[in-house]
Amino acid sequence: GDKPSAKIEEVASGRFGVTAEYLSACEELEIKVGQGAKPGEGGQLMGVKVDEGIARARHARPGVDLISPPPLHDLYSIEDLKELIYELKQLHPRAAVCVKLVAGRNVGTVAVGVVKAGADIIQISGGDGGTGAAPISSMRHAGLPWELGLSEVHRRLSEHDLRARVRLRVDGGLSTAEDIVVATALGAEEYGFGKLLLVAQGCVMARVCEKNRCPTGIATHDPKFKAKYKGAPEHVVTLLRRLADDVRLQLAAVGARSLGELVGDTSRLELAPARRELVKQRRLQLAALLHARPLARAPAATTPASSGSRVIGGAASSKRTRPKQRSNSRPLGGSVFSRARRLAQRAASKRSWSIGGPQRSYSTARRSAARSGPASCSARRKISRPTSRASRSTPRMSASVRARSLCSPRSRCSDARYEGICGRTTAGRSHVAAE
């Protein structure tokens, strides 16, 4: 029928099961040039996981390892990519074409060529993302943070007046509202989630995805282990709704009505005070990241109006029209509660956003609101920014520009090279720093 079987279909280097029928049953086609967790390397699906169903879907034989090569052997130039995009659009004219790139050196220059080749979406994948089929050499210290790649791509496209022709999506370990807001300020319009949704379904990070013995029944085809699966679609929906509520609080704290108002607005970012001495010692140059050229206008040509966000196959999209200019002192709407005003004043006077760092000053107001119980939900959604002269300037987010680590703050980093940067570690997590 006309109803697609999936929102996004991927064209990767292995081309397993990529047929005309497969490509025509979706709303978006993604050309996977690389993966942030293992840049420059392919994947391998172990034969123990290739059962009858997988073999039939991938046009292979059961029990045989399925190896995906590192490069796409039909893409060795921008012209080759343009031809592939043209062929995909001829096959499925209504589908948007996304090209997935890895955050790395000169990714901005590559993105310019991708836009000229006719792509509708560019996805930047960071090194903190997960993978279930990576070589041991890529388990740690591989890939760069998505912040670096996203900022460079947004800046290069703006310099070449190509930003309005494409949407930017980012993934690679996004898990909090802070990540979403900071990614938006660096130029992202859509956000991809992977591990976060797995955790919502019960993933315990056992790191045996390739062995077909997942203890929670997620990454396995063995009936004995599949019987242990306790997840439900409602769990994912609940998580995304709570995440959206948290994003709403973050936006209210800086006087923004939607994520569209923050796209490319790096003037709201500054280096966290706790990281300034470290940046000075290592002589890091962060001007290009924190003071990039702002986006003059929203890419309304490719993003129809929408009042909120939508989820497409695990990617939240903030589609919107050109944002209107509003005064920073204008209330955020609705009646003003005295308690909400006090919370807003606390948040405005003590604002510090830090990616994966110890500074979470905004949580003070949130904890106060949480203690008040469900009765404060409406008040939190109608926070009005104070109108005093001292508080009319927009609060500045504080982003610690470094390799992100989302592990427990109670454990220390075992790698002496990164001591003082993350202060935390976990098995299999990348601690790549800007050195």
The domain spans of the chain are: 8-328
The per-residue pLDDT for 246 is 95
Burial of 427 (0-12, 13-18, 19+ CB in 10 A): exposed
14 has pLDDT over 90: no
Proportion of the chain above pLDDT 90, given as a percent: 31
345 has pLDDT over 70: no
Bigger pLDDT: 251 vs 330: 251
The per-residue pLDDT for 50 is 87
Bigger pLDDT: 322 vs 4: 4
- The closest alpha carbon to 34, from 105, 140, 120, 115, belongs to 105
- The closest alpha carbon to 313, from 191, 134, 146, belongs to 191
Encode pLDDT of 350-360 as tens digits: 444 444 444 43
The per-residue pLDDT for 150 is 93
Bigger pLDDT: 362 vs 141: 141
The per-residue pLDDT for 407 is 36
8-328: CATH number = 3.20.20.70
Of the candidate ranges 2-16, 234-248, 313-327, the one whose mean pLDDT is the lowest: 313-327
The per-residue pLDDT for 295 is 56
Proportion of the chain above pLDDT 70, given as a percent: 62
Mean local confidence (pLDDT), 409-422: 42
The per-residue pLDDT for 112 is 96
Q: How high does pLDDT run on average in the chain?
A: 72
397 has pLDDT over 60: no
What Cα–Cα distance (Å) separates residue 336 from each residue in 36, 74, 215, 255, 341?
Answer: 45, 59, 49, 14, 7
Mean local confidence (pLDDT), 50-55: 87
The per-residue pLDDT for 101 is 92
Mean local confidence (pLDDT), 169-188: 92
Output the pTM of the full model.
0.66
The per-residue pLDDT for 180 is 94
Mean local confidence (pLDDT), 177-181: 93
265 has pLDDT over 50: yes
Bigger pLDDT: 374 vs 274: 274
The per-residue pLDDT for 292 is 60
The per-residue pLDDT for 249 is 94
Mean local confidence (pLDDT), 120-130: 86
Query: CA-to-CA distance for 309 and 8, rounded, in angstroms?
Result: 17
Of the candidate ranges 200-204, 343-347, 401-405, the one whose mean pLDDT is the lowest: 401-405
